[in-house]
């Protein structure tokens, strides 16, 4: 049996709890067909994968693990805060293999062969204003260059009114010999935005929001002669800052860029682990500036938000989910709604069989629009959860 992955998205999870949740559970009969498919592993161990599912979940009062208290924890969904109980979710790197009629256009074209090169869909879109010249066509879809991006590595494919970013499978294997070459190749001065980051000292973490990244980007631009290194040269015990990187033109969402106190830069923005030795002086200046020009954050921003609750109604193109089961005080529960207009949500109801009364986990990226009836924005999926061994599991 595979040991499921646990991702710490909110707060600390006790070792005893992790060990208990990882223990084999009794077989359970599921009501719908689940088919495994492989999820590509991220190059950096600290990157949270979208396929790995974890969030605080409610346990009945009489089975709360030792050390967990009914006072619960305040959980942040962007601007909204909810008072939930502690618990864990056991998940695996798996998903349903959707039939063709329930696949999104990028899922139907995950991989393309164009101009004698293979490209993978990043799953991210780029705005029209960032597009460059037309490069050709692929199965009737227009192929465009992305401004500032090397077309042999990154292109845009226009499908169903959106422009999806595709990355060459081989283009990132040849790492530029110096950071200056990398900086120029991808126009990093134009596409990098460094705002949220965390400071790591041993097992201690503190979260910050940088007030202005101009100085940091200028310092990186000055590290042109930094040599490319092997991943083995990165000292994992060194104090470092971990910046979150999202860029339309690079086709990345919440990747990471590390600056370590002992003088190294490491990132998975380019799919593989890229490491450059920028020197202790430059690294020290970046770290000192960032810590002196940031505001502390009390909550960690996960790769994706996850809200759990019970489906109470499905009508008029929306799924209504009550989170009372999650709350320290159930009478403070709220009803949220998810639009079924997106095929990724509609297929969970029509094909996967999620229905009224089910305990579910909604994965989303866009926060919650309170003024629009607690509408969950940019929802990606609704997965049914089950209670297993004092916790909640999302089955394969």
For the chain, give the mean pLDDT: 81
The reply to whether 293 and 317 lie within a common domain is no
**What is the pLDDT, as a whole number, of residue 214?**
94
Does the residue 7 lie in any domain?
no
The reply to whether 367 and 334 lie within a common domain is yes
| Residue numbers of the domain that contains 355 | 15-97+304-393
The reply to whether 193 and 282 lie within a common domain is yes
The reply to whether 40 and 60 lie within a common domain is yes
Number of domains in the chain: 3
Does the residue 3 lie in any domain?
no
The reply to whether 274 and 313 lie within a common domain is no
Does the residue 4 lie in any domain?
no
Does the residue 277 lie in any domain?
yes
Rounded CA Rg of the chain: 22
The secondary structure of 276-333 as a DSSP string is EE--HHHHHHHHHHHHHTEEEESS---SSEEEEEEEEEEETTEEEEE-GGGBSSGGG-
Residues in the chain: 396
The reply to whether 156 and 66 lie within a common domain is no
The reply to whether 237 and 222 lie within a common domain is yes
pLDDT tops 60 at residue 1: no
Q: Tens of pLDDT along 69-121? A: 456 777 788 888 888 875 554 544 446 789 999 999 999 999 999 989 999 99
Distance CA 139, CA 350 (A): 29
The alpha-helical segments, DSSP class H, found in the chain are 15-22, 105-108, 179-185, 188-191, 214-221, 280-292, 343-350
Does the residue 174 lie in any domain?
no
Whole-model pTM? 0.75
**What is the pLDDT, as a whole number, of residue 347?**
95
Q: Tens of pLDDT along 3-23? A: 333 333 333 344 443 344 444
pLDDT tops 50 at residue 265: yes
Does the residue 186 lie in any domain?
yes
Structure-model confidence comparison of residues 138 and 303, the more confident one = 138
The reply to whether 268 and 197 lie within a common domain is yes
């Amino acid at each position: 049996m595979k040991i499921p992955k646990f991702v710490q998205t909110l707060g600390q999870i006790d070792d005893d709890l992790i060990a208990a949740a990882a223990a084999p559970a009794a077989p359970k009969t599921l009501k719908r067909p689940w088919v495994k498919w492989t999820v590509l592993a991220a190059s950096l161990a600290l990157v949270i994968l979208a396929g790995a599912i974890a969030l605080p979940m409610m346990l009945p009062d009489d089975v709360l693990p030792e050390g967990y208290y009914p006072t619960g924890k305040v959980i942040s969904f962007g601007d909204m805060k909810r008072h939930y109980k502690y618990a864990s979710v056991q998940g695996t790197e798996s998903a349903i293999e959707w039939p063709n009629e329930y696949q999104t256009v990028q899922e139907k074209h995950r991989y393309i062969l164009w101009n004698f090169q293979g490209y993978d869909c990043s799953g991210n879109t780029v705005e029209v204003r960032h597009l460059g010249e037309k490069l050709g066509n692929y199965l009737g879809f227009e192929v465009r260059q992305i401004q500032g991006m090397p077309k042999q590595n990154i292109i845009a494919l226009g499908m169903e009114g959106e422009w999806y970013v595709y990355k060459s499978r081989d283009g990132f294997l040849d790492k530029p010999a110096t950071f200056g070459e990398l900086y120029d190749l991808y126009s990093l001065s134009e596409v990098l935005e460094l705002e949220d980051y965390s400071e790591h000292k041993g097992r201690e973490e503190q979260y910050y929001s940088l007030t202005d990244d101009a100085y940091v980007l200028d310092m990186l631009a000055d590290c042109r002669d930094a040599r490319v290194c092997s991943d083995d040269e990165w000292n994992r015990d060194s104090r470092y800052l971990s910046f979150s990187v999202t860029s339309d033109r690079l086709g990345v969402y919440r990747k990471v860029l590390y600056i370590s106190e002992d003088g190294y830069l490491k990132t998975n923005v380019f799919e593989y682990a890229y490491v450059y030795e920028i020197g202790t002086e430059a690294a020290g200046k970046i770290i000192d500036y960032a810590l002196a020009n940031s505001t502390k954050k009390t909550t960690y921003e996960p790769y994706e938000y996850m809200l759990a609750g019970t489906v109470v109604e499905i009508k008029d193109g929306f799924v209504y989910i009550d989170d009372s089961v999650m709350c320290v005080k159930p009478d403070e529960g709220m009803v949220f709604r998810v639009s079924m207009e997106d095929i990724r949500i509609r297929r969970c109801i029509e094909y996967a069989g999620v229905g009224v009364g089910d305990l579910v986990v909604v994965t989303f990226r866009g926060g919650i629009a309170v003024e629009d009836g607690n509408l969950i924005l940019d929802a990606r999926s609704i997965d049914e959860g089950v209670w297993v061994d004092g916790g909640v599991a999302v089955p394969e």
